[in-house]
Every structure is written in C-alpha cells, then in structure tokens.
Structure 1
Amino acid sequence: MDWDRLQYFLLVARHGTLARAGAALHVDATTVSRRVSALEAALGQTLFERAPTGFVLTAAGRALVPHAEAMAAAAARVHMAPGGRAGLSGQLRLSVTEGFGNSFIAPRLATFVAAHPELEIDLVASSGFLNPSRREADMAVLLARPRKGPLITRKLSDYSLGLYAPASRPDWQQAVGQAPLSRAGIPVIGYMPDILYAPELDYLDEIEPGLRASVRSSSILAQRRMIAGGAGVGVLPCFIAAGDPGLVRARPEQTIARAFWLALHRDVAPQPRIRAFIDWLDAEVRESRGLLVPA
C-alpha cells in the first residue's frame, strides 16, 4: 500500500479538514484532496463522507486507520537520529482538563518541546474532552476511567482538593474554621450544576452536606481568580492554588481526593511519539507528587 497516500489519509482523519491536514503536511488543501481521492480510487472504497463541517470517516475509513497508524509507527522507527534516538515528528494531540492542562502541563512543556522540536503538539485544555475512541485526540487525561471503547487506560495520578479563602479576608478564614459555611453568610464559589461536565466535580457535598454555590463558573481558573479576588470561598485542586499569594487554605484538615486517568486508543499506543510523551508526563507527575497530593 502506498505510504505517501496513506499519510495524507491519516492526517485528514486526525484533523477533519483538508486545510488543517495540509497545514500539518506543509502542502495546500488541493494536494491533500488529490492524494485522498487517489487512495479511494485505488482501494475502490469511499473513506470519508464530505460533510459541511469537514471530512468524517466512513466504516471503510475507520477500518483503514489502524493500518495507517501501524505504517506511521514503522516509518517513525525507520527515521532514527544519530546515536540511536528516534527523531520524532508528526502531530501529537492531548485532550486534558482545563485546570491540569493550563496549571500543570503547560508550564512544564518546554522540556518536552526542546527534546522533540519536530513534533507538532496540540494541547486541548478545556471543560469537556475529545474522545480517543473516535480518534479526536491521540490521548486524554480524564477525571474518571472510561468503561468502554478500544482504549488502554490507567491511573495517571491521585490529586487533592481543599477549601480556599481569599488572603485578603482573614475574617472569612476564621469564620469558615468555626462554623458551617451554610450559616456563615459567606458566598460559596463553584460550578454550575446544570452544565457540570463530569460528576467528579460535584464535590461541595463533601465539604458540607447540601452546600450550594451562589457564585458559579464553568471554568476552574475563573473560580480561582474569583476566590483570590475576594468574591467568596470555594474548592480548588491544591496544585492550582499552590503558590498563589491571594489564596489561603481555609480548612487544612479537610481534603477531597480525586484522580486523573490516562486513556489512549490501542492502535496509537506503540507509536514512538506517544510513548515519548507518556514517559515525559509520568516523570513530571512523579517529581510533582508533593504538589498534586500535599501531605
């Protein structure tokens, strides 16, 4: 099978449009379209449905993806840099929670980028996740272990959350330590329950049964800023709150435990760029154990 045509097919499958695939390959969209059409003609199969929003894999296209991924992995192993180290290239897309992506991965990513300058890295850090089962991302860091799909999953790390108050309100800090929040008259900051994107984020009951937020945001980073700015008290992951002079842990003895889970499609697991990123992320997590799960 022609690898040249297959790599165009694979990039369209990953990106969903001719323009984005062309940008990744450094060619124009017309070239990508010609190569994909030539592959479909050679196979006698339609690999994509042309939809207004982009290219969507057909059943035949989905069946071809694992073979294309295997050839991509083989091609990556052939291109070895001097000294036996793989010169990794191509695209790597990670879907991750907004808080972990922006506060943990992003500040540390420079070391991985420097080690693999030919890689194109997409960090999709937002509320909600891309789905590795549908090849929307190479891998995802999730708040719960997926129960279905052709995925390899494992726990990446535990992490802790606590109740935080603004450093500018010592009266609130004292009140929170002496009385239930429901009777303290202090605004509580948290998520909007009707658009909570993961049940693991519904943790106010673990602070006090029946506790509700009166100031709400879908963004944990916005919640952090609101608490530090004096809008109220709220729950934050300790690794997000650490080092912020505007925040004080209000009840140090009260801890909420959660975990991050790593998920990736079985077909991409052997790829060198995937293995390299996972090794790097594991090392960063190990070194930051005290930040993720403070004593």
Structure 2
Amino acid sequence: MLGIDWSDYQAFLAIARAGQLARAASALRMDATTVGRRLRRLEARLGTTLFEQTREGQVLTEAGERLLTAVEAMALAASEVGDGNSTGGLSGTLRISVSEGFGTWFLTSYLAGFAAAHPELTLDLVANSGFLSPSKREADIAVVLSRPKAGPVIARKLSDYALRLYASPAYLAENGTPEQPQDLAKGHRLIGYIPDLLYAPELRYLDEIHPGLAATIRSSSISAQQRLLAQGGGIGVLPCFMGDPNPDLCTVLPEKRITRSFWIVTHKDTHNLARVRAGTKWLVEAVARHRGQLLPGL
C-alpha cells in the first residue's frame, strides 16, 4: 500500500460504506468525478478491480472485500490516534440474514438499540423462509439452523432454542386435548410446513412428536402458522419464543419438547470488518441476555 495517496483509500472506504459513488462523494463533500478518479487511480496502482457496478450501485469484489478489512483497520487506528479513543463510527450497510421466526419474533425487539448506537450504519434484516449465504457474500452475517460443512466461513454456535406444540383454547375446547402423542393422529388438524418447500431439514418436527404425523394445513411461513394456530386452525409446533408470549395459545403435551440450534456464520474475508464484528457482538449479547425466551424453564 506504500506509494498510494491516503485520499485514494478514503475515497475507496467512502464508496464501500455508502454503496454508491454519488453518496460517497456527498459524504466526503467532494464531487463524484473526483471520487471516481481517485478510485480508478487506486485500482490502477493495485492492478485489480475493487467494485462491480450494479443497478443499485457499487458492490465490492473479493479483492475489494480484502482491501476493506485492511483500510477499515487503518481508519480506526487513525481515529484513535486523533482523539485518544474509538467512537465506533460504524457506517455503510450491515446485512443480517435470519430465519423468519427468529428475525420477526425475537431480534426485532432488540434491533432498535443497536441501530441507535450506530446511527450512520444502515441495517438490513433479511428475515424470511431461507437464508442468504455469507460464503457467496449475499449477507455479512447469517444465523442458520446447522453448522455449515464447507465454504470459506467462520461459524460458532449462538444458542439452542426450544419448540413445543401449541393450540388455541377454543380449538381444544371443541376438539379435546390430546393426552398422548398418538392422540394427535385421531381426528386432530395439524398445522406445519409444506414438506417439499422446507429450506432446512431441521424444520421437520412432527415425526419427532410421533412417527407418521402429517400436517393437513400447511404453510411455508412460520408467522402464518402461528396465526392459524391462534385462530383455532389446529395443533402445531412453534418455537417457544413465538408461542409462549401469545395469549391466544396454550401448550399441548408440554413434556414433548424439541430442541434445535442457531449458528452464527460470517465470511472469513469479512468477519474482521468493524461493522461485522459489532453486529456479531450485538447478536451474541442479545441472545445471552434473553436466553430465557429461547430456552424457557432452564
């Protein structure tokens, strides 16, 4: 990196954080032509392309991701020398991919605090059926249901979580309360996932309750399943952090408890980026503080 003007690195860092050249120029209080010229000069001297141009703006290449790790460390060190302490100063975009239930019914309760601590950071919470891949750089952080077996990623266990059977009091009053797992096969409507649309094998629950059970009301959305259960549609499995707080649900066969795990995954090339480290730390601390919601009774 010797022989390259620090201002070129500042232009690169601003574009990486803003995601668009025009926004980076605005942040630097410069015109976009000058910022673009500095980026091209840096790429020429390094002999590599640092960004890909997309419809949404500039996206880091693999070489860009590697350079960003080093330049963010340089910028942080410079700020510490300048004022004697680090303010955090996170900016850019942090994309976190999580399951629909965990994102919607757990993380959203705590995300505002993290956002308030880093007002210049844009947070993307991708909470749906399926996961974006850190190994393909689709997300900075992913919370998944099993440890990846391959790929350039770093994974650590975030937490176990518990699931139980739930139904509405109205449904049980009308159809009776099962006393044993085999009772579920005797005239009860079961709610669950669509088997051929499962995005993870860990979502197959009913066979663990009793062999041969099958849902007759099915949805790819766990939020839709929760709503169906609360409205008296039948009996189904929910994470306890979704089922226990809902006043329209009660547990069925409470001794039948299922345990699954969340794993936090980042890419090897980007896990040391300041925003990724901060996001990972926040996730770990949020789960540690509120583990009772994930594993009630323990």
Q: In the TM superposition, what whole-angstrom CA distance separates every residue of 1:48-94 from its partner, at most 9, and x where no partner exists?
A: 6667898777xxx4234212222123313433596724332222211
Q: In the TM superposition, what whole-angstrom CA distance separates every residue of 1:136-176 from its partner, at most 9, and x where no partner exists?
A: 21111111101112211110000000010112223367432
**Cα offset for 1:45?**
4.2
Counterpart residue number, 1:88: 89
Q: Give the counterpart letter for 1:262 in structure 2.
A: I
Preserved contact between residue 202 and residue 260 of structure 2 (Cα < 8 Å): yes
Q: Give the counterpart letter for 1:86 in structure 2.
A: T
Instruction: Pick from 211, 214, 223 the counterpart of residue 213 of structure 2.
Output: 211
Correspondence list, 1:1-295, <5 A: 1=4, 2-7=8-13, 10=16, 18=20, 22=22, 37-46=40-49, 61-80=61-80, 84-90=85-91, 91-171=93-173, 174-178=176-180, 180-295=182-297
Preserved contact between residue 158 and residue 257 of structure 1 (Cα < 8 Å): yes
Preserved contact between residue 164 and residue 247 of structure 1 (Cα < 8 Å): yes
Where 1:96 maps in the other structure, the secondary structure is: strand
> Aligned equivalents of 2:116 and 2:107: distance in 1?
15
> Aligned equivalents of 1:51 and 1:93: distance in 2?
17
> Aligned equivalents of 1:136 and 1:36: distance in 2?
24
Q: In the TM superposition, what whole-angstrom CA distance separates every residue of 1:189-230 from its partner, at most 9, and x where no partner exists?
A: 111111111111111111111111111111111110110011
173 and 8 in structure 1: CA distance in 2 versus 1, 3 angstrom threshold: farther
Q: Unaligned stretches of 5+ in structure 2? A: none
Q: In the TM superposition, what whole-angstrom CA distance separates every residue of 1:104-131 from its partner, at most 9, and x where no partner exists?
A: 1111112222222222211111111111
Where 1:87 maps in the other structure, the secondary structure is: coil
Q: Give the counterpart letter for 1:88 in structure 2.
A: G
TM-score between the two structures when normalised by the length of structure 2: 0.83
196 and 138 in structure 1: CA distance in 2 versus 1, 3 angstrom threshold: same
TM-score between the two structures when normalised by the length of structure 1: 0.84
Root-mean-square deviation (Å):
3.0
